Structure 1
Amino acid sequence: MSTPFYVSPEQVMKDRADFARKGIARGRSVVAVPYVDGILFVSENPSQALHKVSEIYDRIAFAAVGRYNEFENLRIAGVRLADMRGYAYDRRDVTGRGLANAYAQTLGTIFSNGGEKPYEVEIFVAEVGENATEDQLFRLTYDGQVADEHGFAVMGGQTEPVVKSLEASYTEAAPLEYALRAAVTALGQSEKGERVIPTEDLEVAVLDRTRSQIRKFVRLSPARLDALLGDRGPSTPAGPETSEVGMGGGGSITASTTSTSDDPADPTDQVSGKVAPLEDPNSGEPPIAPPSSE
């Protein structure tokens, strides 16, 4: 009788962690930067169909890096959990902390289960409060660890040059224009030097506490980005990306996506100054959870 092959639990966990980290590092970074009126998310994302940053609920946003089909399943699960909790109890009972804990349990279970590969994802869960002291930003890793971030945060890709650039330029409670410029400049840093990311390759969204609508999530249009960033010189698009475009291996969660449309009762977009459509201009789908009449 042959001796069964043995691998220590420590080695198994190390191999699974190395596998997940390598997959995440192949993606492009996402930056979360608090500014005076909320929280700003910036990412380089040439795809017009796939989003790294999305709305979860009224004051809560979700951002992710890694393998798209995996973090999209997590996003949809978060939308469903938030929608059910808000419907069964109260919209105020849906919190970023509660969603972060739910994600941590899911990611931790998947990572420790030897029957399937770990998720190659890292995610941000952010909630904007009535003032800056109530803002919350949670970072979750592939193994379910949760970190409560203070100040700016970076995940995915080659983070070291991005972090160094933000450390030199980040200012607490800065206006949106300054925070956006600092984040975009940082994303253009790499070990090979600095480059200018084209506006059309940027995915930018904010949780803006000053909006009159219940839902605080807004995407910034390319026209608005051009106005905020101004002339930055000739653009230099990045090369192809291999990690975040993976569409295979769909999970068990299907159906609805989140909406970024505004409250129909007050459709003026205070960030862009334009009247928002009743449908999400990117996905073309209606809102999944119309705000209450409170």
Structure 2
Amino acid sequence: MAMQFYASPEQVQRDRSEYARKGIARGRSAVVLTYEGGILLVAENITTLRKISEIYDKIGFAAVGRYNEFENLRRAGVRMADLNGYSYDRRDVTGRGLANAYTQTLGAIFTETQKPYEVEICVAQVGASPETDELYRITYDGSVMDEPGFMAMGGQAEAISNVLRERHDTAADLPAALALAAEALGSVGGENGQTRKLDAKQLEVAVLDRRRKGRAFRRIAGAALTTLLEGGKDVPEKELGDVDAAPPNPAGDKPTVSAASEDTEDKSGEAAKAKAGDADPSEPADGVNGDGS
């Protein structure tokens, strides 16, 4: 009888952690930082797949690692936020609550399944001021950390964080914050340790704008992103991108009676009048006997 292979729980956890870290390190990085007007989310991304998305009114989501895994987490977070906002109040949906839910989910997956998720995610909630902004980093094993105004994920996150730590300023405007994020992402990954200059086609950018009421998430792409990267001033709000799934425009006044029913009623009325005109008044109506019964 063959003996079953044994590995200590500590060794199993170490193997899973190493597996997840290697998978995350193979992906491109993402940066989240606060600035004067809100929270900026920037990811190095050359595909059409989204690493940055909206979760709820004031809450954004950024992730690195395996796309199919963090996309499942994003969709689950959207459903949870919508359900809580609909059942209770929209103010009851918080970044902290979502971060706790993600922590429990990733922790259970890491300890109970054979393969851990190769993901690292950020839940960001914009507040009334930079001091009230919230950034939560959730790792593959369910650990959660409250980051102090900036964070980097994936790839060479430590080197990118060093650049952000030296120059991050909560009072900076959007162009300055975006320039810092692009420079930090480009500080790694070059040949022979050289820095890179990232252009608009290599970046996915979005903001949580604290000045907006309701849904604060806005994407920045195209000409607006190019202008900001080239050092231009803050672009007008109308030139910023919209949310991923904006509510439809309000419909015009709808008729209370359909055209089909009106045509049917008109035709029925004309037919009844024609029949009444053709009938002999001396004969009793249908269904009525001569004696009135």
TM range (shorter): 0.7 to 0.9
- Checking the alignment, whether the CA contact within 8 Å between 1:32 and 1:42 is kept in structure 2 is yes
Question: Counterparts of 1:2 and 1:227 in 2: how far apart (Å)?
Answer: 67
Aligned partner letter, 1:208: D
Alignment of 1:159-198 (within 5 A): 159-190=157-188, 192-198=193-199
Deviations 1:168-223 (A, max 9, x none): 32223211111110110110112621111121111000101111x30000001221
> Which structure ranks higher in relative contact order (CA pairs < 8 Å, sequence separation ≥ 6)?
1
Alignment of 1:200-279 (within 5 A): 200-211=201-212, 213-230=213-230, 272-274=237-239
Following superposition, the deviation at residue 161 of structure 1 comes to 2.7
Question: Counterparts of 1:271 and 1:209 in 2: how far apart (Å)?
Answer: 15
TM-score by structure 2 length?
0.78
Q: Structure 1 residues 276 and 201, CA, compared in 2 at 3 Å: closer, same or farther?
A: closer
- Checking the alignment, whether the CA contact within 8 Å between 1:224 and 1:272 is kept in structure 2 is no
User: Which stretch shifts more, 12-21 or 191-200?
Assistant: 191-200
Q: Is 1:129 the counterpart of 2:94 in the alignment?
A: no
Alignment of 1:64-79 (within 5 A): 64-79=63-78
Question: Counterparts of 1:3 and 1:275 in 2: how far apart (Å)?
Answer: 63
3-state SS of 1:273 partner: helix
Q: Structure 1 residues 11 and 276, CA, compared in 2 at 3 Å: closer, same or farther?
A: closer
Q: Is 1:45 the counterpart of 2:45 in the alignment?
A: yes
Aligned partner letter, 2:238: G
Question: Counterparts of 2:75 and 2:247 in 1: how far apart (Å)?
Answer: 14
Question: Counterparts of 1:215 and 1:9 in 2: how far apart (Å)?
Answer: 45
- Checking the alignment, whether the CA contact within 8 Å between 2:54 and 2:217 is kept in structure 1 is yes
Aligned partner letter, 1:63: A
Aligned partner letter, 1:146: V
Following superposition, the deviation at residue 229 of structure 1 comes to 1.7
Following superposition, the deviation at residue 37 of structure 1 comes to 1.3
Question: Counterparts of 1:71 and 1:135 in 2: how far apart (Å)?
Answer: 23
Deviations 1:128-149 (A, max 9, x none): 1122222111000000000000
- The runs of 5 or more residues in structure 2 that have no matched partner are 251-293
Alignment length (residue pairs): 244
CA RMSD of aligned residues (A): 2.1
The structure number with the bigger radius of gyration is: 2
Structure 2 match to 1:241: none
Structure 2 match to 1:143: 141
Question: Counterparts of 1:231 and 1:53 in 2: how far apart (Å)?
Answer: 23
- Checking the alignment, whether the CA contact within 8 Å between 1:220 and 1:271 is kept in structure 2 is no
- Checking the alignment, whether the CA contact within 8 Å between 1:57 and 1:82 is kept in structure 2 is yes
Question: Counterparts of 1:16 and 1:215 in 2: how far apart (Å)?
Answer: 38
3-state SS of 2:207 partner: strand
Q: Structure 1 residues 275 and 38, CA, compared in 2 at 3 Å: closer, same or farther?
A: closer
3-state SS of 1:194 partner: coil
Q: Structure 1 residues 275 and 97, CA, compared in 2 at 3 Å: closer, same or farther?
A: closer
Superposition misfits of 4+ residues, deviation over 6 angstroms? none
Question: Counterparts of 1:82 and 1:227 in 2: how far apart (Å)?
Answer: 34
Question: Counterparts of 1:205 and 1:26 in 2: how far apart (Å)?
Answer: 23
**Identity, % of aligned positions:** 56
Deviations 1:74-128 (A, max 9, x none): 0000000000000000000000000000000000000001x43100000000111
Structure 2 match to 1:12: 12
Higher helix share: 2
Following superposition, the deviation at residue 286 of structure 1 comes to 5.2
- The runs of 5 or more residues in structure 1 that have no matched partner are 233-269
- Checking the alignment, whether the CA contact within 8 Å between 2:134 and 2:146 is kept in structure 1 is yes
TM-score by structure 1 length?
0.78
